Amino acid sequence: MISFAQARKIAEEHGTPTLVCDLKVVEANYKRLKAAMPKCQPYYAVKANPLPEILKALVKLGSCFDVASKNEILMAFDAGAAPDRLIYANPVKPKESLKFAYDHDVRTYTFDNPAEVEKIAKYAPGSDVVLRLAVRDLGSVCKFSTKFGAKEKDALSLLKKAESMGLNALGMAFHVGSQCVNIDNYASALEMCGRIYRAAQKKGIEMSVVDIGGGIPIKYIDDIYSVEDVARLVNARIAEIFPEGIRLISEPGRYLAGECMTLVTRVVGVAERNKKRCIYIDDGCYNSLSERIFGHCEYEILSNKAGSKHRYTVFGPTCDSMDVVAKECPLPNMNIGDLLLVPNAGAYTNAAATHFNGFDPAKILFI
């Protein structure tokens, strides 16, 4: 995280709000993940933060990429990624995007329903396919199993259907939920994959890939388990459940990018509402901090002012009453013009920012 001295210089020169990115953090997190799970190939989830500079840094490190749309495919290509380094991991894809991906030599696709099998067989014939499973996501901040994933009881029929239509059933994928704070979800998901693997093997379907998805958490306010904790669990369960030689891949997004940015924001208004202290800042839920609503993320908001702390409601700049960045936020006495820092603002911030109410997204600087 940058210092307040750096933040003041940035604010004076560039104004606020500004997101300050340190690419060395992305590189360090990638190397830490590889050290913890040396047999696992990361496929960076481009949606977390698609900045070209981040993608290029990851290409140099040898990362592959989880893409979810035509535009994300193009972003990965522009950064220097080869088609065989991509997995088109959106379980439901427009036919036009499928055809585009296939025409540009992308050959690995995720699916979770019969209609998608038929679509892939028609527009990306002969491709490798990975079955996305619905798994337990208890305790995850953002859950996916209500929208994506095949049930265990349907897995074998889907794999057989894929093979019957000329596709190669490469393996299985799951996602335990974004910012997964319940590490046991990984164990439960891997056990399900093991049962499906053995059932498929009996039917002559030999899968070679297990995709553990994303979900590795980062620290915002509350303490969380480490990537090494995830690695110890996953490495042990893979060795217990699957034969030697099974290929392990992951789709980290937040873990790789989340800690690489600090938001520099400024207080633009102060008020008292219902006997509660309130401040208004120049970034909010429709810009860099949309995870407050969509990801239920509790951001740490920092001030370097001295003095006793008070409980503030922190509002974003728009006229929408939902634009609430924090409640009961401990801060010293705040005045208009005071600077605040929000660390770990690298994932789903600039990627999800809008121009709602006429407010421009934060500027982006690199250090």
Active site residues: 319
Beta-carbon neighbour count of residue 165 at 10 Å? 16
List the end-to-end C-alpha distance of the chain, in Å, as a whole number.
Answer: 11
314 vs 328: CA distance, rounded Å: 8
Beta bridge partners of 130: 110, 171
Tell me the longest C-alpha to C-alpha distance in the chain.
70
Omega before 17 within 30 of 0, i.e. cis: yes
Assess contact for 20 and 2: CB atoms under 8 A. Answer: yes
Place of tokens 């996916």: 144
State CA 157 to chain mean position distance. 30
Q: Contacts for 101-106 with beta carbons within 8 Å, 24 or more apart?
A: 101/70, 101/73, 102/127, 104/73, 104/77, 106/67, 106/73
Contact residues for 60 (Cβ-Cβ < 8 A; gap 6+): none
φ, ψ (nearest 5 deg) of residue 311: -95, 120
115 vs 117: CA distance, rounded Å: 5
